[in-house]
Structure 1
Amino acid sequence: RRQEEFFRQIRLNPDDDNIRLIFADWLEEIGDERAEFIRVQCECARWEQTPDIEHRERYLQLKSHEVELSGLWRESCLNDLSSLGVKDVRFQRGFVERMHLEGDEFLPRTKNLIEWAPALRGVLWQKIPRQSASPIQRFLASSVCAALTTLNLMRNNLGASGVEALANSSCLENIQSLSLRENPIGGQGMQELMNSSYLSGLTRWDLTETQLSISDARALARSNTLHQLEELLVSHNQIGDTGLRALANTARLKTLKRLEVADNLIALEGIRALADSAHLTDLQVLDLSGNEIGDAGLVLMASASNYGRLTELNLAGCTIKPAGIANFAESPYLTRLTTLNLSHNPLRKGLPILLESRVAKNLKSLSLRHCDLDSQSIRLLLTEELSLEHLDLRDNPLINQY
């Protein structure tokens, strides 16, 4: 009973190390070796949060011991829980903080999970039975979800009942990151979610490859509950220029810092919508790959101040040619870029202009895969004074020459 009370207190106060350390003292009193693991992980976490250079050597020794203990306790945990569909775990401050689950064998025995994870923060749950909404309802209503902030339900082929159960769960109020990636939820499923009153805590929502349409993008734009959203991932759908304009024109998404709209039938008008938006002015990461924006779209981007805060930009496979790169390279707004992906665009003749531009000066990562680069291109890359830490040149003719 005393252990259950400790678990309850840890669940109610997941960020309070004092409770965990008092629990460790109690474990030591009863001869439980887990006490050492809790103390070591808590001390490592404190140092990582507020590094003390004077005690760095002590930290490095402790971290080495922590890695060793973590491996041992992970193995012990998986041996104990594997029959319940637990595939992997990650410890933090002495307890399992993230867990990969499959199936629903664990549902009658969530108490077993709590013994390892009284304050579970993140779950990847796959192979959920589709026969009814019951598994999702039971899981989200259980005490094991009380401290949950990250929920990943990717690739579950969720049915209508499953999406409805999710949308109506009050547990979602605490969720900050939700992934429904590769579930066919467009249309009715998306409407259920948009009618939910429990999504207001979301800061990250992954809706990649979920069969979203223009009407779904409009529903997102009308939502009154997404006012804290910082990352929206809607790649590999069919929202098109019209759907992107709906997202760009709503003040409800003004907090967005990351937007991924790869492979969405977006062209010049979609780029114009982002450029003209009075609300999406704080974007730092933008993925437009797989959309035929062409040179005209690149010229528009280069002249729009809305793109001035971007640090990461993905333009792979956007039908860009050297003429477009020339304008892009002269942009006064894209000088903060540290990560740029231009793969799958024929850029051989445009590379010199890009490398000599101010846009390239702060780049740490540059992807030029399948860009028809030759030996002269690689000589340029080697002679330019760049600060690159990562360079991807795969699938270019030059690879066969060096």
Structure 2
Amino acid sequence: MGIIRGGNAEYENTLPSLEGKALQVEETIRQALDNTTLNLSGKYFSTDETTILSRYEQIESVKSLNLSDNRIGNLELKILCGSPFLKNLEELHLGLNFITDEGVTELARSEGLKNLRVLSLNDNRLTDVSIAEIVKLPGFGNIEILNLGWNQIGNGTARALGETRTLVKLKCLDLERNYIDNEGIIELLKANSLNSLEELNLSSNKLGDAGAKALASAENFPSLRVLRLSDNNFGDVGAKALAEFAGFACLTELHLGRNYFTQDGANSLLKKFANINTLVLTEGTENIPGRVNFSNPDLIRPRQ
């Protein structure tokens, strides 16, 4: 603790050192720790807090770590990756932070996090540059759930996902609110390693009728149960293509709200998917041009 002088005043600098913060941060960790789950979402963790966390031996049993909605950037992610106490980690939630391509590349190459099954990177600052690289790295071979929604990724990521041979265990892929169009969907559908995929979220992208038609020719998602295509700028042509598709044999949920199809397209969809558990054609807003490109899961309601 030093002395700060300003004008004629002299007072102590009350900002605590790393050691001074340790007791408070460790107490926060203890209170948040529940057996093998550690939920630190929204705790304002930045460099010092992440450093203390990475050195805290009691997290060695943690399998699920939630650090979403904090101040985690590339430096903080590097600190986490270097922790000797996170080698048992299976779930890592990093949504709503400040991670860029550099940080994600560091994560994917980390020797200590090869057991990850669930990885959430939604709402960061990621582009095709890093995602195209990391989805091909062996370190991602155990990933079952991957959330890349609300980033700055597009067709480059779709192409990389179509080419990768690494994500053979992937069951849930979230690409919501990105920039994938019909060309990207065609690239994604080339995938030979996504046969285990059960959930695919493409809401709020840019598929259009051409993208919906391309998706309606998919032959490599035999296990798909949940498909989200809300807010993708397709009309009756895309809706009827989906309705005429002979695939999707395992589908139990289909979300198509906030698109442009008319009652004609809706009738085709209702006839085709009459027996699935959940069919969503509207989500609390009109299917008209000019609506905000915004996805809100709270608006989704099962068909009555």
Instruction: Answer yes or no: same fold by TM over 0.5.
Output: yes
Whether contact under 8 Å (1:151, 1:178) holds in the other structure is yes
Whether contact under 8 Å (2:92, 2:120) holds in the other structure is yes
**Correspondence for 2:255:** 341
**Separation in 1 of the partners of 2:34 and 2:267?**
56
**Correspondence for 2:212:** 298
**Separation in 2 of the partners of 1:218 and 1:258?**
18
1:125: how far off?
A: 4.0
One-letter code aligned to 1:290: S
Query: Quick check: 1:270 aligned with 2:187?
Result: no
**Correspondence for 2:117:** 203
**Separation in 1 of the partners of 2:71 and 2:33?**
27
After superposing the two structures, state which structure 1 stretch, 331-340 or 225-234, moved more.
331-340
Query: Quick check: 1:391 aligned with 2:303?
Result: yes
**Correspondence for 2:148:** 234
One-letter code aligned to 1:211: R
Whether contact under 8 Å (1:368, 1:391) holds in the other structure is no
**Separation in 2 of the partners of 1:108 and 1:304?**
50
Offset from partner CA, 1:78-129 (integer Å, 9 cap, x none):
xxxxxxxxxxxxxxxxxxxxxxxxx96533558x938x96834232343345
**Correspondence for 2:297:** none
Whether contact under 8 Å (1:274, 1:306) holds in the other structure is no
**Separation in 2 of the partners of 1:346 and 1:271?**
19
Whether contact under 8 Å (1:153, 1:181) holds in the other structure is yes
Secondary structure of the structure 1 residue equivalent to 2:92: strand
The 5 A counterparts of 1:215-226 are 215-226=129-140
Secondary structure of the structure 2 residue equivalent to 1:266: coil
Secondary structure of the structure 2 residue equivalent to 1:353: helix
One-letter code aligned to 1:391: R
**Correspondence for 1:322:** 236
**Correspondence for 2:7:** none
**Separation in 2 of the partners of 1:159 and 1:276?**
33
**Separation in 1 of the partners of 2:215 and 2:277?**
18
1:186: how far off?
A: 1.2
Whether contact under 8 Å (1:285, 1:312) holds in the other structure is yes
Whether contact under 8 Å (1:311, 1:337) holds in the other structure is yes
Going from structure 1 to structure 2, the CA distance change for 1:156 and 1:145 (only over 3 Å counts) comes to: same
Offset from partner CA, 1:257-309 (integer Å, 9 cap, x none):
11111122101121112211111122110011111111111111111112332
**Separation in 1 of the partners of 2:183 and 2:113?**
30
- Which runs of no fewer than 5 residues in structure 2 stay unpaired? 1-20, 289-300
1:221: how far off?
A: 2.1
Whether contact under 8 Å (2:178, 2:204) holds in the other structure is yes
TM-score by length of structure 1 reads 0.62
Q: What is the aligned-residue RMSD (CA, Å)? A: 2.5
1:148: how far off?
A: 0.7
Query: Quick check: 1:113 aligned with 2:25?
Result: no
**Correspondence for 1:364:** 278
One-letter code aligned to 2:30: L
**Correspondence for 1:354:** 269
Offset from partner CA, 1:323-374 (integer Å, 9 cap, x none):
21111111111132211111111222211111111x342233525223549x
Query: Number of matched residues?
Result: 270
One-letter code aligned to 1:353: S
Whether contact under 8 Å (2:95, 2:122) holds in the other structure is yes
Secondary structure of the structure 2 residue equivalent to 1:205: strand
Offset from partner CA, 1:185-221 (integer Å, 9 cap, x none):
1122122212311221111100001111111112212
Whether contact under 8 Å (1:238, 1:265) holds in the other structure is yes
- Which runs of no fewer than 5 residues in structure 1 stay unpaired? 1-102, 374-388, 393-402
**Correspondence for 1:170:** 84
Whether contact under 8 Å (2:109, 2:139) holds in the other structure is no
**Correspondence for 1:139:** 53
One-letter code aligned to 1:107: V
After superposing the two structures, state which structure 1 stretch, 165-174 or 227-236, moved more.
165-174
**Separation in 1 of the partners of 2:125 and 2:91?**
20
**Correspondence for 1:126:** 42
Going from structure 1 to structure 2, the CA distance change for 1:172 and 1:372 (only over 3 Å counts) comes to: same
Whether contact under 8 Å (2:38, 2:64) holds in the other structure is yes
Structure 1 or 2, whichever has the larger Rg, is 1
Going from structure 1 to structure 2, the CA distance change for 1:316 and 1:125 (only over 3 Å counts) comes to: closer
**Separation in 1 of the partners of 2:256 and 2:237?**
14
Higher relative contact order (CA 8 A, sep 6+): 2
**Separation in 2 of the partners of 1:119 and 1:307?**
36
